[in-house]
Amino acid sequence: MCIFCSIVNNEIPSYKLYEDDDVLAFLDISQTTFGHTVVIPKKHVANILECDDETYAKLMKIVKELSGKIYQKTNAKGINILHNANEVAGQTVMHMHYHIIPRYDETDKLNITFAENHDKDIEKAYELLK
Ligand code: 5GP
Ligand code: ZN
């Protein structure tokens, strides 16, 4: 069984911040920044690429609610919402989750950079994706 399913089933302890019939939120063990939280559907689904609309809507409602609550309570200056889908994108636990990561300053432990791709072909991307 997957590690997050084990947390849902209380087989592995966690610091739960929110729970209803469909959604669970708990502190991420890494605490990349103070208050780093993951929000998951209780139902096992790998990620956004496989998630049904109803489960997704329920999950995102709680992501939004908790983001505001965590932002206020931690006195963070900002917040990142992150979802990794598949290994190549950094997903290590194959049970869907959104990270809520409060941000305190530019030198905290989360570092996301949108570097410019010098081989970019934006016309080709547009033709493919429009
Ligand atoms: P991913 O890299 O898949 O987007 O994120 C997985 C996250 O799950 C990581 O940030 C990692 O710290 C967290 N994690 C992995 N195992 C456990 C655990 O047993 N308990 C908790 N609370 N978090 C975990
Ligand atoms: Zn699972």
Set 36, 97, 99, 118: catalytic member = 97
- For residue 3, the CA-to-ligand 2 centroid distance in Å is 6
- For residue 23, the CA-to-ligand 2 centroid distance in Å is 12
List pLDDT tens digits, range 68-79. 999 999 999 999
**What residue spans of the chain are helical by DSSP H?**
3-8, 53-74, 122-129
Ligand nearest to the backbone CA of 50 = 2
List pLDDT tens digits, range 80-114. 999 999 999 999 999 999 999 999 998 999 999 99
Residue entry with tokens 């329920």: 58
Torsion angles phi and psi, residue 7, rounded to 5: -70, -45
* pTM summary value: 0.97
Q: How confident is the model at residue 37 (pLDDT cuts 50, 70, 90)?
A: very high
Q: Which residues are 100's β-sheet partners?
A: 37, 81
How buried is residue 71: exposed, middle or buried, by Cβ count under 10 Å (0-12/13-18/19+)? middle
Task: Enumerate domains of the chain plus CATH numbers.
Answer: 3-129 (3.30.428.10)
Residues within 5 A (CB) of ion ligand 2:
2, 4-5, 44, 95
For residue 27, is pLDDT > 90? yes
Tell me the average pLDDT across 52-79.
98
Q: How confident is the model at residue 1 (pLDDT cuts 50, 70, 90)?
A: confident
